[in-house]
């Protein structure tokens, strides 16, 4: 099993612009990108404005990775949520254990469950006010 920590940046509708900037400024390479519109099989699930926003992007910067997403609807970002820490594992049960441990005395922002971009994902703020995204990425 592996565990990896990755900075996760959330912006207010400017991720596409940020990706272009990071490609130029720090030689970032796009590994994956999915919009809110691409996340749903149901047509018209999201408004046109939301459909084009980035739900999840992963960039490679040197030997490290950087993840980004747009806040749904371009809504204001809460204090402590603009940059979070993404903990990635390659084991769903390990991800769930980490999520459950971090939620003790903290707050669940998004329950741990399967998502279109991950077989096990959740968002939690621990008792110290640090927000973590727990992300499972199975090796192919």
User: Domain residue spans in the chain?
Assistant: 3-136
If one looks up domain 3-136 in CATH, what number appears?
A: 3.10.180.10
Q: How many CB atoms lie within 10 A of CB 71?
A: 18
Determine the pLDDT at residue 27: 93
CA dihedral 111, 98, 56, 78 (to 10 degrees): 70
40-62: per-residue pLDDT in tens? 766 666 777 788 899 999 999 99
Tell me the three state secondary structure of residue 110.
strand
Residue with the two structure tokens 């402590």: 80
For residue 108, the tally of other CB atoms under 10 A from its CB is: 14
Closest CA to 88 of 125, 136, 56, 139: 136
Report the C-alpha gap between 17 and 13 in whole angstroms.
Answer: 9
Q: Residue 140: what pLDDT?
A: 59
Please state the pTM of the whole predicted model: 0.75
Note the pLDDT of residue 49.
75
What is residue 2's predicted lDDT score, i.e. its pLDDT? 85
pLDDT tens digits for range 72-129: 765 677 766 788 999 999 999 999 999 999 999 999 999 999 998 899 999 999 988 8
2, two tokens: 């592996």
């Amino acid at each position: 099993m592996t565990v990896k920590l990755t900075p996760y940046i959330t912006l207010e509708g400017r991720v596409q612009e940020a990706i272009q900037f990071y490609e130029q400024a720090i030689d970032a390479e796009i590994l994956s990108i999915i919009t809110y519109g691409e996340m749903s099989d149901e047509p018209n699930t999201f408004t046109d404005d939301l459909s084009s926003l980035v739900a999840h992007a992963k960039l490679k910067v040197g030997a490290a990775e950087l993840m980004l997403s747009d806040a749904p609807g371009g809504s204001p970002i809460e204090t402590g949520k603009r940059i979070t820490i993404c903990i990635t594992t390659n084991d769903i049960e390990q991800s769930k254990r980490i999520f459950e441990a971090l939620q003790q005395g903290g707050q669940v922002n998004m329950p741990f469950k399967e998502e279109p971009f991950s077989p096990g994902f959740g968002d939690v703020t621990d008792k110290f006010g640090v927000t973590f995204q727990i992300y499972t990425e199975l090796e192919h």
